[in-house]
Amino acid sequence: MAKRDGCPICGTATEPEFKPFCSRGCKDRDLLQWLGEGYRVPGEPVDLTRESGLDSARDAD
Protein backbone atom coordinates (compact mmCIF):
# COMPACT_ATOMS: atom_id res chain seq x y z
CA MET A 1 0.00 0.00 0.00
CA ALA A 2 1.30 3.42 -0.92
CA LYS A 3 2.08 5.83 1.89
CA ARG A 4 0.03 9.03 1.88
CA ASP A 5 1.62 12.38 2.60
CA GLY A 6 -1.52 14.25 3.59
CA CYS A 7 -4.83 13.96 5.33
CA PRO A 8 -7.18 11.59 3.42
CA ILE A 9 -10.05 14.07 3.91
CA CYS A 10 -8.55 17.44 2.95
CA GLY A 11 -4.95 16.72 1.85
CA THR A 12 -3.34 18.96 4.49
CA ALA A 13 -0.18 17.74 6.26
CA THR A 14 -0.96 15.25 9.03
CA GLU A 15 -0.50 15.89 12.73
CA PRO A 16 0.92 13.09 14.93
CA GLU A 17 -1.91 13.49 17.46
CA PHE A 18 -4.59 12.81 14.78
CA LYS A 19 -2.65 10.62 12.36
CA PRO A 20 -3.52 9.87 9.58
CA PHE A 21 -5.66 13.02 9.71
CA CYS A 22 -4.62 16.65 10.07
CA SER A 23 -7.08 17.66 12.78
CA ARG A 24 -9.84 16.52 15.09
CA GLY A 25 -12.36 17.92 12.60
CA CYS A 26 -11.19 15.69 9.74
CA LYS A 27 -10.96 12.70 12.07
CA ASP A 28 -14.56 13.28 13.22
CA ARG A 29 -15.75 13.87 9.66
CA ASP A 30 -14.32 10.50 8.64
CA LEU A 31 -15.99 8.76 11.59
CA LEU A 32 -19.34 10.35 10.72
CA GLN A 33 -19.01 9.05 7.16
CA TRP A 34 -18.64 5.49 8.51
CA LEU A 35 -21.46 5.87 11.04
CA GLY A 36 -23.80 7.41 8.47
CA GLU A 37 -23.05 4.65 5.96
CA GLY A 38 -21.34 7.12 3.64
CA TYR A 39 -18.55 4.59 3.09
CA ARG A 40 -19.46 1.13 1.91
CA VAL A 41 -17.46 -2.03 1.36
CA PRO A 42 -18.39 -3.70 -1.96
CA GLY A 43 -20.00 -7.09 -1.75
CA GLU A 44 -23.07 -9.13 -2.47
CA PRO A 45 -26.37 -7.65 -1.25
CA VAL A 46 -27.65 -9.20 1.97
CA ASP A 47 -31.08 -10.85 1.89
CA LEU A 48 -32.68 -9.69 5.13
CA THR A 49 -35.78 -11.85 4.59
CA ARG A 50 -33.74 -15.06 4.73
CA GLU A 51 -33.08 -16.75 8.08
CA SER A 52 -29.58 -16.23 9.43
CA GLY A 53 -29.08 -19.90 10.26
CA LEU A 54 -28.49 -19.15 13.93
CA ASP A 55 -32.08 -20.01 14.87
CA SER A 56 -32.00 -23.34 13.03
CA ALA A 57 -28.69 -24.24 14.69
CA ARG A 58 -30.21 -23.42 18.08
CA ASP A 59 -33.30 -25.55 17.32
CA ALA A 60 -31.10 -28.57 16.55
CA ASP A 61 -29.84 -28.69 20.15
For residue 58, being part of any structural domain is answered with no
Q: What is the pLDDT of residue 5?
A: 81
Q: For residue 7, say whether it is annotated as part of any ligand binding site.
A: yes
pLDDT of 1-13, one tens digit each? 556 589 999 999 9
Q: Known binder of ligand: residue 10? A: yes
Task: Name the H helices within 1-61.
Answer: 24-35, 54-59
Query: What pLDDT is recorded for position 55?
Result: 55
Domain of residue 17 covers 7-36
Determine whether the annotation assigns residue 25 to a binding site: no
Q: What is the pLDDT of residues 15-57, one digit of tens each?
A: 999 999 999 999 999 999 999 988 888 888 888 887 666 555 5
> Is 12 within a domain?
yes
How big is the chain by its Cα radius of gyration, in Å? 19
**Does 22 fall in a domain?**
yes
Q: How confident is the model at residue 3, as a pLDDT?
A: 61
Residue 50 lies in a domain: no
Q: In this structure, is residue 26 part of a structural domain?
A: yes
pLDDT score for 51: 61
Residue 53 lies in a domain: no
Tell me if 52 is assigned to some domain. Answer: no
**Whole-number pLDDT of residue 45:** 84
